[in-house]
Amino acid sequence: MTTDYKPRLFERDEDIRAIGTGLLARTLPREAWTHEAHLGACLWLLSERPDIDIDAEIATIISRFNESVGGVNDDHGGYHDSITRAYVAGVRLFLTETAETELAARVNALLCSPMGGRDWPLRFYSRDLLFSVPARRGFVPPDLAPLPAA
């Protein structure tokens, strides 16, 4: 697992909302779709867009965005369902635990928390299973520990 990663933090709520709206509208530049942007968008969707059913729609939202910027969702790249579902579970758990109320403060706290780490899904999945084609193409239950429930 990686331990030396320092996340790029957000200065303003508006920056996170711009990522989320850009993701939904498929106008976000490809280079802006970073690890931090993934988690910021997820937290924004869960906390500020109750009209979107994340569990039902996240795969389509991200897959269509990937395609809109020239990406491919296949066995080797693009949308990864098990990683996404692990982070959605982590963000939900984080939201039950944080005292932060402002969007940027919440996202930054998430990014600095265990749930925001790039290796967080490896607490639940072996590397071989997590990076397998079946785990990319659909949700595969973890083999090391169950995902947390919020």
List the chain residues with pLDDT less than 70. 1-4
CA 93 to chain centre: 13
Q: How many C-alpha atoms does 56 have within 13 Å on its Cβ side?
A: 4
Q: Crossing angle of helices 35-48/81-97, nearest 10°?
A: 60
Q: What is the pLDDT of residue 4?
A: 67
Q: What is the pLDDT of residue 2?
A: 46
Q: What is the pLDDT of residue 150?
A: 74
CA angle 138, 21, 7 (to 5 degrees): 70
CA 32 to chain centre: 14
CA angle 121, 90, 107 (to 5 degrees): 115
CA angle 68, 119, 19 (to 5 degrees): 35
State if pTM tops 0.85: yes
- For residue 11, give the DSSP letter: S
Helices (H), 4-100: 13-25, 35-48, 54-68, 81-97
Separation CA 76–CA 98 (nearest Å)? 35
Q: What is the pLDDT of residue 5?
A: 73
